[in-house]
Amino acid sequence: MTTALNGSVRFVDLHAQIRSLQPALTEAVQAVLDRGDFILGKDVELFEQEFAAYCGVPHAVGVDSGLSALELALRALRVGPGDEVITQANTFIASVGAILAVGARPVLVDCDGDGVIRPGAVRAALTPRTRAIMPVHLFGRICDIEAIMAVADGAGVPVVEDACQAHGALLNGRRAGSFGIASAFSFYPAKNLGAFGDGGMLVTTSREVADTVRQLRNYGQKTKYQHVSLPLNHRLDTIQAAVLRVKLPHLDGWNARRQYLADAYREHLEGLPIRIAPADAEGRHVYHLFVIESEQRDRLRDALQARRIETGIHYPAPLHLQVALKDLGYPAGAFPTAERLAAESLSLPMYPEMALAQVELVAEGIRAALAG
């Protein structure tokens, strides 16, 4: 456990994982160079099949980012101007970006004290214009999706899961992405399953949605140069698919390691005046992020930085207080829980190759800062 322990702790470090997968990664990329099928090549098709099987859904369509997967899901469901889509105030801006991209209006709701979107808040936000619900499995924990599906079914509205932080997460034996009619994954490098650049995947239970998104990602083509729908380019690169095919068989092992490290954090932070959302009882949280809450968040962050321990904040402002979204017209105070979490949340270092001794260093730093 003494390797790479010079006392500093990176927030995320991808080097060890890349090294551990050599020479397979280099061979996979070289095979693409040899074949030359850079656009919608063999690895894209195979990775789509493998990822669909992994998620337990019949269809998967590779795209160029998580944002594109969300946007194309909404387009395939014919959500557009005049429509409303419900999502949460405490998330990454991509969820709302996809809604705005199709010309619809994002309707935000507050979360509970653990940062999870509440089915009751979703029900209260329904209007005759609601055309989709987009819950987020934030930080790697599946939200209360079964109750949200019941609200959605009652209203006759489709659910698009934002599973961009939840590759492999489980709830009652089902994977993230297998509940709604369509779901989006991101392969941004630091995600639990990451490419060497941008990439994303739309998974769906609907053949019609899959076919529509296949067309939309590739210039609206039905057959070569027969453009029958909106001509966009949102294809997943073959090289990225080749890399992701090497990584996918390791995902469950990496997620198990994240759970082990999260348990270690909980144990080492026990008794301190901080809040940690409880471990998920019915499901398997995959800890894309390990987040604590403290009223002294900024002081804590500075104290850790002084020990060369990197941390993150997810996210420093809820969506309704972002400059880019001020036209939505939500005032400060509109979503008090999301606002409090933005002020108090601190994300601790978390990646599968992290050493247990590094968890102990982080915990020691927090203990010292709170004592001082």
Ligand X SMILES: *Cc1c(COP(=O)(O)O)cnc(C)c1O
Query: Can you spell out the DSSP letters for 56-105?
Result: T-SEEEEES-HHHHHHHHHHHTT--TT-EEEEESSS-THHHHHHHHTTPE
CB of 298 to ligand X, least distance (A): 23
Helix (H, G, I), strand (E, B) or coil at 241: helix
Q: Which is nearer to ligand X, 66 or 312 (CB)?
A: 66
CB of 244 to ligand X, least distance (A): 13
Helix 356-371 with 251-269: angle, nearest 10 deg: 30
Q: Which is nearer to ligand X, 18 or 190 (CB)?
A: 190
Q: Which is nearer to ligand X, 186 or 337 (CB)?
A: 186
Binding site for ligand X (CB under 6 A): 65-67, 91-92, 94-95, 136, 162, 164-165, 186, 188, 198, 200
Q: Which is nearer to ligand X, 65 or 215 (CB)?
A: 65
Nearest to 214 by CA among 4, 1, 48: 48
Neighbours of 207 (CB within 10 A): 10
**Six token digits for residue 285:** 């949280």
CB of 330 to ligand X, least distance (A): 19
The length of the chain in residues reads 372
β-pair partners for 171: 174, 283
Q: Which is nearer to ligand X, 66 or 349 (CB)?
A: 66
Q: Which is nearer to ligand X, 32 or 67 (CB)?
A: 67
CA angle 238-241-247, nearest 5°? 150
Are 166 and 176 in contact, with CB atoms under 8 Å apart? yes
CB of 202 to ligand X, least distance (A): 12
Q: Which is nearer to ligand X, 189 or 220 (CB)?
A: 189
Q: Which is nearer to ligand X, 65 or 294 (CB)?
A: 65
The residue number with the shortest CB distance to ligand X is 66
151: left (phi over 0), alpha (psi -120 to 50) or beta: alpha
CB of 111 to ligand X, least distance (A): 13
CB of 314 to ligand X, least distance (A): 8
What is the sign, positive or negative, of the torsion defined by CA atoms of 229, 233, 234, 240?
Answer: positive
**Rounded CA separation 316/287 (Å):** 19
CB of 188 to ligand X, least distance (A): 4
Are 338 and 110 in contact, with CB atoms under 8 Å apart? yes
Amino acid at 65: S
CB of 371 to ligand X, least distance (A): 34
CB of 97 to ligand X, least distance (A): 8
Q: Which is nearer to ligand X, 58 or 97 (CB)?
A: 97
CA angle 139-144-145, nearest 5°? 100
